[in-house]
Amino acid sequence: MARISQETIDRIRHASDILDVISQYVNLKKRGRNYFGLCPFHHERTPSFSVAPEKEIYHCFGCGAGGSVFNFIMEHENLSFVEAVQQLGRRYGIEVELTGDSGTKRLFTQLYEIHEIAANLYQKNLFSDRGNAALEYLINRGLSDKTIKTFRVGFAHGSWDYLTETVRGKGFTREAIDKSGLFGKGKQGPVDRFRSRIMFPIMNRSSKVIAFGGRVFESDDPAKYMNSPETPLYHKSEVFYGYHKTAPDVRSENAAVLVEGYMDFLQMYQGGIQNVLAVSGTAFTDRHALQIGKITQKVYLTYDGDEAGKKAALRAGYSLLQNSIDALIVSVPENLDPDDWMRKDGVKTVQEGISGALPLLKYHLQVTDAKNLPAVERSNLVKEILAELAEIRDSIIRDDLLQTLANELKINEQELIRKLKEAASRKRLPPPDEPTSTQTNLFTTVAQKAQVEILTTLVSSFSEVKQLVKDHLDLMSEPLLNKAASLFLEYDVDSTAVILEQFEDKIERDKIASILMVEQNIDDPQSVIQECLITLKAQPIKDKIEQARLKIRELEAAGQDTNDIVLEERQLHKQLLLIYQTNK
C-alpha cells in the first residue's frame, strides 16, 4: 500500500487554501464567516454547500457531504487519498514521495492512465507523417500550433488496432479496457473505437483526459462526429469541453459563452473570448444547467445560425431559466456556425454580437416573428412558451417573463396568468432532485445532544476545556462522538480538517463535519461542559426512574405489592439529587 509521510500531508494541507481549491469547482459567495454555493455532490437549486475557511472544512446541509480539502478532491475526482494528496501537492509545488508498494491499481486509476496514453498517442500521430493531412486541415481552419497543443488535439488514423496494441501488455485489466469506451469488440478481441478521426480530448476539471470527441477525416463514415460513450469517468450531461481551462475566466467575467462544437470552442478561445464552454457530445440538459450554475448565473448561447441551431438554443435557454440562470441568445449569422463566423468576420464582430445578445424570450418572439403571425399560430406559440414558463420555479423570473410576454404581444396579463395555471396543471412539476439530508440521521436523544455540545465546545474553546473533557471522556458513550473528542485530545490541535481525515467511513465523516461546522460563541465554556456532564451523569438515572414508574403502574394495575419498587425509585431520586448538589 502506497504511503505518504504525515509531514508531507500536513505541509500540503497548510499550503492548500480550501476556499481557493473548492472555488475552482463551486461558485461560492460569502455569508457571514463562511461561504455558500450549489453543492457539487447532488442536484440542488438553493445553495446549501458551505465552506468554513477558518476550520478548513466543508459541509453540505442538503446531502450531508463533508470533510477536509483532501476529502473534497477525493469525492469530486474519484481519487484515493494518496492521489488527492499528490494532486494538491502538484498544484502547490510540493513534491510527494511515496513509500511502500502501490499494489493493484484501482479501476479509476487505470482508466485515467489509458486515456492519457491515448491522448499522447493521438497527438503524436497528428504531428507525424501519417497525420500531415489532418494537421494541415486544422491549420487551414485557422487553428494555431499553440492552440492545437494547448488542447492536445490529435489524430486517430485508420488502423483497427493501433491504440489496442499500444496498451497491450501494460497490465490493464479487461474491466478497465472494456469500461474505457476507447475500444470496440472485434472477432479476435478489442479493437480501436476511433479510426480516421481528428481527436479532441475531453478533460475533467483537474485536466485529466476522461473521454474523446472524434471528427471524421478522409473517411466515408456517415457519422461526422463520434464521441466516447458514457463511462465511469465520463457523464456527458455533466461535462463541458474546455472547462479545465476556462472556468476561472467564466467566474471572473460572471458569464459563460456557450457553444456546441469543439471547433467553435477552439476558435473562440484562440480569438480571445476565453470565458467559453462547449457541451460535450450531447444536447444541453438540465444537468448541464445545474453544473454551469455552480460557476455563473449568466450564459450567452452562441449556437449555429441555421434552424436546428436556433431551436437548440431555445431549448437550452429555457432549461437555463428553469434553473434560475439568465439566458441570452447571440444571433449568429444565417447558416454560419461560431467557428465560421469567427474566421469570416473576426473577433471584434463576434464580441459585438455577444454584447448585443437578446434575452431568451425576446429572441424567441423575434425569431418566430410572433407579432405578425396569424392568430391561430400566435396562440399556439404562446401556449408553447407558457408550457416552458410553467416549469420555472422562481416566481420572480416567471412573473417577469410573463409580463414581458404580455407587453410584447399586447395580451391581457391576467389571461396569460390563467393560461399559465392551466399549463402548470397539465404538466405537473416533479419535486427538485434533492437527497434526504443526513441531518435526520444525527443525534437526537438528550444524552447524544449533550455529547454533541461537549464536542462543539471542545472545538471552539480547546485550551479552556481540554482537561475537563479529558477527565470525563468515559461519559461520552456515543462511539462516534467519543472517537472525535479523543482525536482532538490526542492531536492537541485546533484544525478540524486533520480530525476529519481520520474518519475513513464517509457517513461517519459527514456526520462529524456537520457538527464541526456549527459556529459557537461561548462566554463560559467550562460551565457549558459542566452542564453537559451533569446531564450525562443524570440521564441514566432519570431513565431508571422512568422505568421504575412504569413498573409501579403495572404492579398497581395487577393488584400486586409495589413497596420494593417504590423504595428503589426513592433511592434513585437521592442519587439524582446528589449529582445536582455535588456538581453545582
- Give the bridge partners for 197, in sequence order: 156, 216
The residues pairing with 212 across neighbouring beta strands, listed in sequence order, are 201
Residue found under cell 485546533: 494
Q: Give the pLDDT confidence score for residue 366 in this predicted structure.
A: 94
The per-residue pLDDT for 293 is 84
Task: Name the pLDDT band for 222 (thresholds 50, 70, 90).
Answer: confident
How many angstroms from the chain centroid is the CA of residue 451?
32
Q: What is the pLDDT of residues 113-171, one digit of tens each?
A: 999 999 999 999 999 999 999 999 999 999 999 999 999 999 999 999 999 999 999 98
**Residue 278 predicted with pLDDT over 60:** yes
Does residue 413 carry a pLDDT above 60? yes
The confidence score (pLDDT) of residue 237 equals 82
Q: Which domains, from first to last, does the chain contain?
A: 6-91 (3.90.580.10), 104-234 (3.90.980.10), 368-426 (no CATH), 442-584 (1.10.860)
What is the DSSP code string of 496-543?
HHHHHTT--SHHHHHHHHHHHTS----S-HHHHHHHHHHHHHHHHHHH
233 within 8 A of 201, measured Cβ to Cβ: no
Q: What is the mean pLDDT of residues 179-183?
A: 94
Residue percentage of the chain with pLDDT more than 90: 41
CA gap 289, 308 in Å, rounded: 20
Q: Looking at the DSSP assignment, which residues form a beta bridge with residue 493?
A: none
pLDDT for residue 226 is more than 60: yes
Amino acid letter at 1? M
Neighbours of 541 (CB within 10 A): 18
Residue 494: φ, ψ to 5°: -95, -5
Residue 257's nearest CA partner among 282, 237, 240 is 240
Mean pLDDT of the chain: 87
Give the predicted TM-score (pTM) of the model.
Answer: 0.68
The rounded distance, in Å, linking the Cα atoms of 372 and 362 is 14
C-alpha cell at 17: 487554501
The answer on pLDDT for 330 being more than 90 is: yes
Number of H helices, E strands in the chain: 26, 17
pLDDT at residue 433 tops 50: no
* DSSP-derived pairing of the beta strands 225-227 and 209-216: antiparallel
Q: What number of other Cβ atoms are within 10 A of residue 284's Cβ?
A: 22
Q: How confident is the model at residue 54 (pLDDT cuts 50, 70, 90)?
A: confident
Radius of gyration of the chain (CA): 31
Query: What tens digit of pLDDT does each residue of 490-549 get?
Result: 876 556 788 888 888 888 888 888 888 876 667 788 888 888 888 888 888 888 888 888
Helix/strand/coil for 466 = helix
CA 546 to CA 446: how far, in whole Å? 14
The three cell numbers locating residue 277: 464552454
Q: Output 30 or 443, whichever has higher pLDDT.
A: 30
Secondary structure of 80-122 in the HEC alphabet? Answer: CHHHHHHHHHHHCCCCCCCECCCCCCCHHHHHHHHHHHHHHHH
Q: What is the pLDDT of residue 114?
A: 96
Q: What is the mean pLDDT of residues 459-478?
A: 86
